């Protein structure tokens, strides 16, 4: 059974809901950021340029709520907290990497098009 056919995504389809989860720039960047292993909050802020601490916290909580990320607090002083992908979250690494590879390969062509047609928002 698939909901994503040529007849479209039904609005109440699990696949559709999941695409709505993932098709979020911060979610994709956090999954990418955690794909090499656990990271602390501050490390992710540094890794993902332009994300605020607050938005990162919200995104991490959201991904935890989906079962994609887990938070691990070490019993140390001062306390150390790390975030990591769950087993389910790790299944997302490959599709996110495909998107990233596309962006690397074709980002320049998009920028060129925007320059040539005056459609850049910047």
Helices 93-117, 25-34: crossing angle, 10 deg rounding: 130
The verdict on 81 binding a copy of itself (CB under 8 A) reads no
The verdict on 52 binding a copy of itself (CB under 8 A) reads no
Query: 21 near 13, Cβ under 8 Å?
Result: no
Nearer to a copy of itself, 11 or 73 (CB): 11
Q: Is the dihedral of CA 50, 54, 60, 63 positive or negative?
A: negative
Nearer to a copy of itself, 80 or 106 (CB): 106
Angle at 99 between CA 53 and CA 27, to 5 degrees: 25
Binding site for a copy of itself (CB under 8 A): 2-4, 6-25, 27-29, 32-33, 36, 46-50, 64-68, 88, 91-92, 94-96, 98-111, 113-114, 117, 119, 121
């Amino acid at each position: 059974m698939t909901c994503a056919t040529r007849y479209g995504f039904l609005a109440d389809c699990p696949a559709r809901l999941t695409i709505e989860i993932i098709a979020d720039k911060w979610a994709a960047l956090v999954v990418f950021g955690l794909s090499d292993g656990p990271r602390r909050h501050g490390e992710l802020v540094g890794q993902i340029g332009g994300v605020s601490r607050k938005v990162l916290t919200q995104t991490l909580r959201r991904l935890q709520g989906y079962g994609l990320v887990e938070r691990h607090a070490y019993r140390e002083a001062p306390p150390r907290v790390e975030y990591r992908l769950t087993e389910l979250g790790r299944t997302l690494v490959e599709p996110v990497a495909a998107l990233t590879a596309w962006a690397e390969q074709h980002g320049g062509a998009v920028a060129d098009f925007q320059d040539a047609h005056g459609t850049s928002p910047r």
